[in-house]
Amino acid sequence: MASHTIKTVKNPEVSRSFPLRLHRALPLMARRCAAVVLEVSLVTASALVPYSIGWYAKDQSPSEPVPLNPAVASAEEALAKTLAYPRARLTRQVAPLTNLFWCSALVLPVVVVSWQLYLLGKSGQTIPKRWFGVRVVTAYGAPPGLIRALWREAAGRWGLPLGTAYLLWRYTGAFPDFGILLGLAGFMLLAEAGSALFNGQRRTLHDRLAGTYVLDTARKYSSYPDSSGDWQSADNGHSVTLEVENGWHSSDEDAANGHRYNPTVTTIVLTSKVQQPRSVSLWWWMRQHPGLTLLIVSFAGMASILGTFVGTQVYIQNQANRRSFKQQNNEVFLALVKQLSSTSATAIEERQGAILALARQDDARSVPFLVDLLGQEKTPSLIETIQQALVSKGPEALPPLQRLNQSLQNDQKTLVHQGSPQEQQLVAMRQRATRRAIAKILTIYTSQLHHADLSRIDLARETRGAALFTLVLDDLDLSGINFRAATLTGASLQNSSFYGAGKDERLGTFDDWIADLSGAELKEADLTGAILNNVLMNRTNFIRATLNRAKLFDSYLIGANLSSAQLISADLTRAVLENASLTGADLGESKLDFANLHGVSLVQARAVGASFAFANLTKSNWEGTNASGANFSNAKLRDADLSSTKLVGANFSNAQLQNAKLRNTNLSAADLRGANVTGTDFLGATFATAAPRDSDEFIKQPPTAASGVRVQGVDFTRAKNLDTEQLQYICSHGGSHPECP
């Protein structure tokens, strides 16, 4: 016998628009795929469109850059960490309009996804699914609901395949190649979608995980799936649901009698009265085997009591041993401290022995005590002994030494005005010992200091008095160390590396060790051949520093002072030097391709043979600079001031020179082909230079074609201050101007 349950639900509306034609033309699987592609496209467009607008505004906005919105910065950092994107390439400052659009790019996809999930949960159809006549339902024909829809999409459709692809990429040899990750992700998504081909009901893996079915809304179903998943009527004692829609009859007999149902769907559920087999549970098994159950419980109780007793005894003994060891250490420490106050004839030797013994003590109080002792000691020999003892303690001595260094630096500044010569000399000796200890630790333990904090430390060169000191850290690995606002004047850092691979031992990933030299004082420092890729050096002072052959690509030098610095053959590709000062610097043969030099000052600099291809040089100042033979192809030189600049043989092909000043500039043999010279000021500019005769240097030959600027095809219509001689040259050498015949 079966009990009958009747319930009434609303009739789902069948699509009546253009997708109705698709219902007849395309199979359900094709329409499902098309709906998914459209759903993904909507989400992607909601993020990509505002992001692209913001990126365009980043370069075009006249407003001053502002810090990146914290929410966007956090999202960018989290994404970079997940995908192993280099941390140094993250955006830090953008135009205000960019912040607005990038915030929209962060919020809009969340809104679109939330709305689509809401529609899917409540009606079983997102907007694209409705367009293509596809509906998601549960086994009882109802919409899946918000929780089931979220589980279906987040865990089944995207989480499982993308998570599997990420794990394969991250923990195999494919890391950190981003292209391989995309390939794996695409393959896993296709495999998950293709799982429907191996299921009789064409259910994908995410449908089976969520317990959902995908239906064609253009078809009529007489029943919901039975226990085997088949969508057909059943009267074999199992529950069955029959639905009747508009224009349908419940049976042929009703149709003959002319009976019709109103516009509702009536669902009849037949519930079987057949008794289900009893499920086997732990409690049922225990009741069937009482003796064995009692034996197992007894043994488990005895084992737990014995284990608790043994564990308690081991813990008590360990604590007693620890207290005993700690007491012994304490007694030794106190004895050594007492020995330091010795007044015997051999007091100095005894104190030296006590200091060295303290350094060997495995006691957390040793390092702070030795550092405090160094800050008070007056005997030169003991000061040197304390220094050596602290060096033997290694990296753990750096934090207290840093604090002592800053304290002594302040004492030195104070004693200059009101201290006696003896006091000044004593403080200088202590400071020298502190600096030497820090330098030795950096040299000996170089591979263990990637997270060391040496900010605001004073390791400046001292060439006079008792504080004689020069920091020499050549050929060392200093990557990851924080030198923010440190004083390293006159330091020798030749061939040292401030950038290295992180724990994954791969360069160019998020966990790279990158030193921070922002605001540091590196005046007259020698950084020849140093590796400074990706390093933060904003507002750093490099006056008269030597950076020949240094590697600085992707580095940040915003507002840095590189006046009179030597940068011969340095690599500054993609470096950021906004508003930096390169006044009087030597950039001969250096590489600054794709670099950002917006607002940079290059007054009286030397850039012979340097390369600035595709660089951003807007509003830069080049007055009096010698940039002969430099490469400015495709560079942005809008509003740049190149007055009185020597640009003989320079390459300006396809450069943007709008509103640039080229007054009194020597452009002999330069290449302006393809350049945009709208608004460019050529007042007094030299287009060709006559060569002197061998017999008399005061008698010059006429300019040759090789010595003149190349202007073929260049439009000078909107150029400024062109004189008659310049116009004649332009017209005779293929240039374009309204006054040309």
What does the alpha-carbon distance between residue 267 and residue 447 come to, in Å, rounded to a whole number? 74
| Mean pLDDT on 162-188 | 88
| 3-state SS record for 589-612 | CCECCCCECCCCECCCCECCCCEC
Centroid of chain to Cα 21: 48
Half-sphere exposure of 381 (CA within 13 A, CB side): 7
Most confident of 9-13, 31-35, 38-42: 38-42
Q: How many residues does the chain have?
A: 741
> Do residue 200 and residue 115 come from a single domain?
yes
* One-letter identity of residue 55: W
Locate 246 and state its tokens: 């508009």
What pLDDT is stored for residue 602 in this prediction?
A: 94
Which DSSP letter does residue 706 get?
Answer: G
Whether 365 and 433 map to the same domain: the answer is yes
Q: Give me the number of domains the chain comprises.
A: 3
- Token pair for residue 14? 């069948």
Mean pLDDT across the stretch 169-196? Answer: 87
- Domain shared by 332 and 459, yes or no: no
Please tell me whether residues 84 and 136 are part of one structural domain: yes
Looking at residue 703, what is its pLDDT? 54
Give pTM, 2 decimals: 0.73
Residue 374 pLDDT greater than 70, yes or no: yes
**Residue 319 and residue 344 in one domain:** no
Based on the domain organization, do 417 and 318 belong to the same domain?
no
229 within some domain: no
What sign has the CA pseudo-torsion 717, 719, 721, 727?
negative
Which residue among 192, 219, 246 closes a domain? 219
Is the domain of 335 the same as that of 395?
no
* pLDDT value of residue 689: 73
Q: Clarify whether residues 50 and 173 are in a common domain.
A: yes
C-alpha to C-alpha distance for 473 and 548, rounded to whole angstroms: 17
Q: Using the 3D structure, point to which of 290, 319, 339 is the last residue of a domain.
A: 339
Residue carrying structure tokens 């490469």: 631
Q: Is residue 630 situated within a structural domain?
A: no
Residue 167 shares a structural domain with residue 25: yes
Q: Would you place residue 692 in the very low, low, confident or very high pLDDT band (cuts 50, 70, 90)? A: low
Tell me which amino acid residue 72 is: V
Q: Tens digits of per-residue pLDDT, 451-469? A: 899 999 999 998 877 778 9
Mean pLDDT of the region 342-355: 78
Instruction: Please say which residue of 277, 308, 339 terminates a domain.
Output: 339
Residue with tokens 């349950």: 5
Residues 332 and 379 in one domain: no
The answer to whether the CB of 718 falls within 8 A of the CB of 739 is no
CA distance linking residue 127 with residue 41, whole number of Å = 12
Please indicate, yes or no, if residue 406 is contained in any of the structural domains. yes
Rounded to whole angstroms, how far apart are CA atoms 378 and 373?
Answer: 10
Helices 160-170/178-194 angle, 10° precision: 150
User: 194 and 56, same structural domain?
Assistant: yes
In a domain, 270, yes or no: no
Q: Could you tell me which residues come within 8 angstroms of residue 368 by beta carbon, excluding any fewer than 6 positions away?
A: 400
In a domain, 282, yes or no: no
Cα 211 to Cα 372: distance, rounded to the nearest angstrom: 69
* pLDDT at 693 > cutoff 70: no
Would you state the pLDDT for residue 507? 85
329 with 430, same domain: the answer is no
Gyration radius from the chain CA atoms: 40
For residue 334, give its domain range. Answer: 298-339
Peptide bond into 176 cis (omega under 30): yes
Q: How far apart are the first and last CA of the chain?
A: 107
Say if 156 falls within a structural domain: yes
Domain for residue 238, yes or no?
no
Would you say residue 629 lies in a domain?
A: no
